[in-house]
Amino acid sequence: MNCELAHERIVTAAYGELPDEQTHELERHMTGCPECARDREELRAMKILADAHPVIEPPPNLVARSRLRLEEALDALPPKRWYERLTQKMMNNFASIQAAPVAACLLLVVGAGAGILGGYEFAQSRAAHAASLARTIAGPQPSPPTAEIASISSIVRQPNSEIVDVSYNQVVPQHMQGSLDDPKIRELLMLASENSASAGVRDDSVGLLAAECRAGHSCQAAGIRDALMVALRYDKNAGVRLKALEGLEPYVAEDLRVRDAVLEALLNDTDPRIRTQAVTLLEPVEADTSVRQVLHTVANSDQSPQIRTVSREVLSRVPEIQ
């Protein structure tokens, strides 16, 4: 891979749109190309800093004034002669007559095709999801579930044991018992962390998943780790987000996606406990360009004195990179 292609893929990867095989090729290229690696770090830092500042909509008065100025400018244009107006009108009518049947046909064909394709893909995805979930949950149970799971109703860990009782709802309430290492139990916990309407159930599931990650028990990126990042970014309960952040701690140094999620929490989370904990987790990787720039930004301009102080303390312990 040459550097020109690498630069294109760096941009695509920054927005999570690069396929896995191309991502691996890009990583191999950057292992031997410090220039491209530096460009990627700079782009990631710029993206994170840009996301920290919301897009400001123009005030209504500005829009109104702009329209008035545009209308005044149009009124100031010299009027066209009668034959110029007549010619323009004839050309517009002719173009409309020619384009109308073609445009209508194209819209009809495109709309029908998009509707058929979209309906087919939606039906296929729903069927695949239901089948996959049923296969995952189904096992040597007295009454194996076959329908799609609607929600998780409760999670109880037996004292001094690895056994977890998970109750979930289908057409009628169902129950499953198994070890935390059981793939079916893990699937239910991940489902509960994202879909449960109960904050208590989400708190229990994220707490168990985080404990598994901290203990180093098969916390793969495409599984429990992803569920914790989703909880950290989107859960409305601060306690759930804090547990998710703690579960991601062992992977901040090795996983760029986890590091980005922690940086987003530092910049955007509304709970000072989570932001303070995020600074603590980022300290071991302060040599990362994006981490360093975010810490400098927060230390200099954050509205919270506590966050500014904690960030400055981290930066003061590494004076050689400031």
**DSSP code of 54?**
P
Give dist(CA 165, CA 219) in Å, integer.
Answer: 20
pLDDT of 100 reads: 45
CA angle (231 as vertex; 227, 234 as ends), nearest 5: 130
pLDDT of 89 reads: 66
Name residues of the chain where pLDDT drops below 70. Answer: 48-65, 78-86, 89-150, 170-173, 195-197, 221-222, 318-322
Please give the full DSSP string across 278-292, using - where no structure is assigned.
Answer: HHHHHGGGTTSHHHH
Total-model pTM:
0.50
pLDDT of 106 reads: 52
Helices (H), 57-163: 60-75, 82-137
- In sequence order, which residues have a C-beta less than 8 Å from that of residue 53 and are 6 or more positions away? none
Give the Å distances, CA to CA, from 164 to 136, 199, 224.
17, 18, 16
pLDDT of 36 reads: 85
pLDDT of 70 reads: 77
Give dist(CA 262, CA 232) in Å, integer.
Answer: 8
